[in-house]
Structure 1
Amino acid sequence: MDDKYFIRKILIAIAIGIGVGFFFRDYVFMLDVLGKIFLRSMQMAIPLLVLGQVVQALGSLEKKDLSVLGMRTITVFGISSLLAAYWGILFSLIFQPGKGVAIPQSDLAGVKEQTIDFAETAISFFPQNIMDSLTRGSIIQIIIFAIFLGIALNMFLAKKPNSVILPFLIDFNEIIMNVIRLVMKFAPIGIFSMIAVSVGNLGLDILIPMIKYLLVFAIATLSFLLLWVIIVVIYCKKSFKSIMIGMKSISLVALATTSSAVTLPIALEDTHKKLGVSKRVVDLVLPMGVSLNSNGSAMHMAITVITISQLYGINFNVVSILYIGILATFISLANAVVPGAGLVSLAIIVPQLGLPIESIALFAGVEWFVGMLRTITNVNSDVFSAVVVDKMSKIGVRENI
């Protein structure tokens, strides 16, 4: 399914949903069942999707990826994704895009106040029984197990490189992705239903926070990328002008295509030729970044869940906010390359925080713009990571001399 065609259908569905919700607000309750069926269908394959994607990403790492250079790369990826998540949380707490809309008390049924205990949270990261974690859909426990399983698979394949396990896993993951794609074909119907119900219950005022949300996301994205540039200028001794020239084509392609994979070829060429990063580092860091480094996705999920909590008047304590950043970072490892991937990511993280999953329909209308911001952050962060890793490697070489 073409992504632009998919977004066009979603926008049409939203426009019709707004109209139906506004003019037939006394009858939209009948559409509620369609929206809930769509959401349940989207959630049904998510535990297997997350498990399979993380195991495949780690199991597919080559020996060079696990070298000193590879470990430096993974460290930079982890720190930058975590920073991106907390950067998004910071801006959503400062500007509060979800404030100003009163959700009726009946819509808060089953939504709990978020007061997570630190020790309890740390223990809860680790599964006692993975089958139980899969049954309950405990995503962070599934990801922790997937990391162990992915590393174990990598060790196994190092001894038996001709094993059929990895090809089988790749095929299985593709089948799960097809399940998600099939469900997403019905996204326009499900989102139309949920938007109609939301507008019918809350009025057109519910659309205002979405505009504020998009503006906050844009400001957070631009400032985060500027922070990256400052780091590269100071640590890597690059001039601001050379970075702007080197990143121009990469950024434009990322915005136009909303695809990290499509942008990869030009990123490989420009990072080496225009930014002066060694070919060895470029060929390792950028392809790894497509699957393991998603700063934009981490920021997107973090900003969105805080916005949803503000819409519903739910307060997070400090430990809960720390948990959100870690959760968004882990979930960013499990990217679903399907139309409406941002909605799939939200379907993973929103239920984990006890927030109403129906709320993700509100964000469908800005998904295309969010996709642009998410992609340019993902791609540019990959490039900046390559520049930093290249500098670290040169320092390491000088120290060994």
Structure 2
Amino acid sequence: MSLTSRILIAMAAGLGVGILINLVNATGWLWPAMDYGLNEIVVVGVFDAVGRIFVASLKLLVVPLVFVSLVCGASGLGESSRMGAMAAKTLLLYLITTAIAISLALLLGTIIRPGDGIGMGEASTFASQSAPSLKDVIVNIFPSNPVKAMADGNMLQVIVFSILMGIAISRSGNHGQQIRAWFENMNEIIMKMVGILMELAPYGVFCLLAKLFAELGAGAILELGLYFSTVLLALLLHGFGVYGLLLKLLTRVNPLTFFKHLRPVMMFAFSTASSSATLPVTLRTAEEKLGVDNRVASFTIPLGATINMDGTAIMQGVATAFIAQAYQIDIGLTGYLTVILTATLASIGTAGVPGVGLITLAMVLQQVGLPVEGIALIIGVDRLLDMIRTAVNVTGDSMVTMTVAKSEGAWDQQVFETEAKAETQKA
């Protein structure tokens, strides 16, 4: 059985077991042993422990994978003038897709109007954290201590340091070639570690979803059904429609084959709700299934996991429209344009970890004069939507990577098509 099939089965089993446990907890039906602490042992104990270990194992590989892989890629591009052009194209595509995402979200939010008729409760106890300003984001890109940046998991700083080291290696003659060979060997070892972890993925996915739905149940979706459906519609339209159209227009690649290759990545992102934790899987898939050269993938994918948050931007757009409608506040065309600009720039400073979108949403609401307390209306279903929008985020990272690789002549069509045939034969 393929890894994709095993993960799909694990996801379905996790959803089913989690919802069943939630129903048993709510009704006390069928499982009186729950009253004797079995819920704490199974859900809080086993499921939570295995899920957290799985996510921690993924995050364990993020910094060494990004550092080593990016040094290899930058050292290969450092002698040419393509690094600057590739970086410019990557940043431009990420900003354009984010702007499209937030515009689509606001359009659907104003057409469907999910906030109309919402009864307002008491003020929220949500404590918003101040999002970093654009100036702080730019200044903080450059590390003063690369070791501290790696220890803290500050990926933008790690990326900058890795690129500088790669360029220096490419210009250091024979000494640089020896170091580059060492990094390439280390990269092979780290990718092997990723492969080992992938074999254990179904168990981690099962435990993560079982614990989540054991705590939330299916009722959390029903309470905010229209808001949930609007965000979900926007995510699906952007994730499959916009990305598929852009991929077809810019690369002439079959979008269906692209999405087929990307299924394991999207499922990992859905399970972990973290672009950073999914990064090892995304990078491995880009190189081994999409046919993207390591020199490109090692730059665009870590950068995308750090700054490309289209799914988060969609949530912020729909949530802004929803909260404005719930409070009966008309922010006007200027307000919506401000939301587009603010959410696009805020995505640069959004870390790829679960739930961080609520922090930047607070900043967006403040910019257009909406009450931050409105976050209380959506916080109940945000964890579920966070999983879906993370899958959209990593899809966007891979789409931009494919586009940049094709434009740079760093895409292997034979790998792309061979993997497609292999998957068809397995099916």
Match of 2:280 in 1: 265
The one-letter code of the counterpart of 2:234 is A
Match of 1:124 in 2: none
Match of 2:113 in 1: 96
The answer to whether the 8 Å contact 1:299/1:328 transfers is: no
Q: How does 1:290-309 map to 2 (within 5 A)?
A: 290-309=305-324
1:340 lines up with 2:337 in the alignment: no
Match of 1:125 in 2: none
Match of 1:378 in 2: 393
TM normalised by structure 2 equals 0.55
Match of 2:37 in 1: none
Q: How does 1:127-146 map to 2 (within 5 A)?
A: 143-146=133-136
Match of 2:87 in 1: 70
The one-letter code of the counterpart of 2:385 is V
The one-letter code of the counterpart of 1:231 is L
1:220 lines up with 2:234 in the alignment: yes
Q: Relative to 1, partners in 2 of residues 1:172 and 1:247: Cα closer, same or farther, differing over 3 Å?
A: closer
Seq. identity, %: 25
1:86 lines up with 2:100 in the alignment: no
Match of 1:211 in 2: 225
Q: Equivalent of 1:363, from 360, 363, 378?
A: 378
Match of 2:258 in 1: 243
Match of 1:310 in 2: 325
Match of 1:352 in 2: 367
Q: How far apart, CA to CA, are the structure 2 residues paired with 1:207 and 1:358?
A: 20
The one-letter code of the counterpart of 2:95 is G
Q: How does 1:146-295 map to 2 (within 5 A)?
A: 146-150=136-140, 154=142, 163-164=144-145, 210-226=224-240, 227-295=242-310
Q: How far apart, CA to CA, are the structure 1 residues paired with 2:288 and 2:151?
A: 36
Q: Relative to 1, partners in 2 of residues 1:320 and 1:261: Cα closer, same or farther, differing over 3 Å?
A: same
Q: How far apart, CA to CA, are the structure 2 residues paired with 1:171 and 1:272?
A: 27
Q: Relative to 1, partners in 2 of residues 1:92 and 1:344: Cα closer, same or farther, differing over 3 Å?
A: same
Q: Relative to 1, partners in 2 of residues 1:363 and 1:220: Cα closer, same or farther, differing over 3 Å?
A: same
Q: Relative to 1, partners in 2 of residues 1:148 and 1:240: Cα closer, same or farther, differing over 3 Å?
A: closer
Tell me the SS of whatever aligns to 2:409.
helix
- Structure 1: any 5+ residue segments left out of the alignment? 17-60, 108-136, 158-162, 175-205, 396-401
Q: How far apart, CA to CA, are the structure 1 residues paired with 2:248 and 2:324?
A: 37
Deviation sequence 1:150-191 (CA, Å, 0-9, x none): 47xx4xx7xxxxx54x666788998xxxxxxxxxxxxxxxxx
The answer to whether the 8 Å contact 1:89/1:302 transfers is: yes
Alpha-carbon RMSD across the aligned residues, in angstroms, is 3.4
Bigger relative contact order, structure 1 or 2, given CA contacts below 8 A and separation 6+? 1
How many residue pairs end up in the alignment? 267
The one-letter code of the counterpart of 2:373 is E
